[in-house]
Amino acid sequence: MDQLTQTAFVIDKADNVATALAPLAPGTVRLTGDASAPSITAAEEIPDGHKLSLRPIRAGEPVVKYGVVIGAAARDIPAGVWVHLHCMGSLVDQRSSHLDIHTGAPNDIDYE
């Protein structure tokens, strides 16, 4: 994808994450919605519909989307990286910490 057309949406000015509107590659990402800055640099690939950190988020700090706390950082999260189950715990769905980050399959069930 042309990096000049990469876009992420900020729902609320209080948010510390944005939502990727298409798969993102490392490079400049234009911010739309209620963004306080025109762009951010993605540090890694981020899947379509997933969260991109807008600033550094310290371990234990709230992850804010929709202007509300949706989880907490499980470790320090640098600006411009993918924010998902591998680096945050959901306060919306407690079981999410047991799901595979790529497939969503549960890892807490032994089928044997």
What range does the domain containing 68 cover? Answer: 3-98
CATH number of the domain enclosing 75: 2.30.130.110
What is the pTM assigned to this prediction? Answer: 0.79
Pick from 50, 53, 73, 65: nearest CA to 13: 65
Instruction: Look at residue 2 and tell me whether its pLDDT is greater than 50.
Output: no
Q: What is the pLDDT of residue 35?
A: 92
CA end-to-end span of the chain: 42
Pick from 35, 27, 29: nearest CA to 11: 35
Q: Which two tokens stand for residue 71?
A: 């989880």
Q: Residue 19 forms beta bridges with which residues? A: 9, 51
Within a domain: residue 104? no
Q: pLDDT digit string (tens) for 19-68?
A: 999 999 999 999 999 999 999 999 999 999 999 999 999 999 999 999 99
Within a domain: residue 105? no
Within a domain: residue 94? yes
Q: Give the mean pLDDT of the chain.
A: 87
Q: What is the pLDDT of residue 85?
A: 86
Within a domain: residue 14? yes
Confidence of residue 82 (pLDDT cuts 50, 70, 90): very high
Within a domain: residue 107? no
Tally the domains of the chain. 1
Q: pLDDT digit string (tens) for 12-21?
A: 999 999 999 9
Confidence of residue 100 (pLDDT cuts 50, 70, 90): low
Within a domain: residue 103? no
CA angle 71, 46, 54 (to 5 degrees): 55
Within a domain: residue 109? no
- How large is the average pLDDT for residues 68-91? 93
Within a domain: residue 40? yes
- How far from chain centre, in Å, is Cα 80? 9
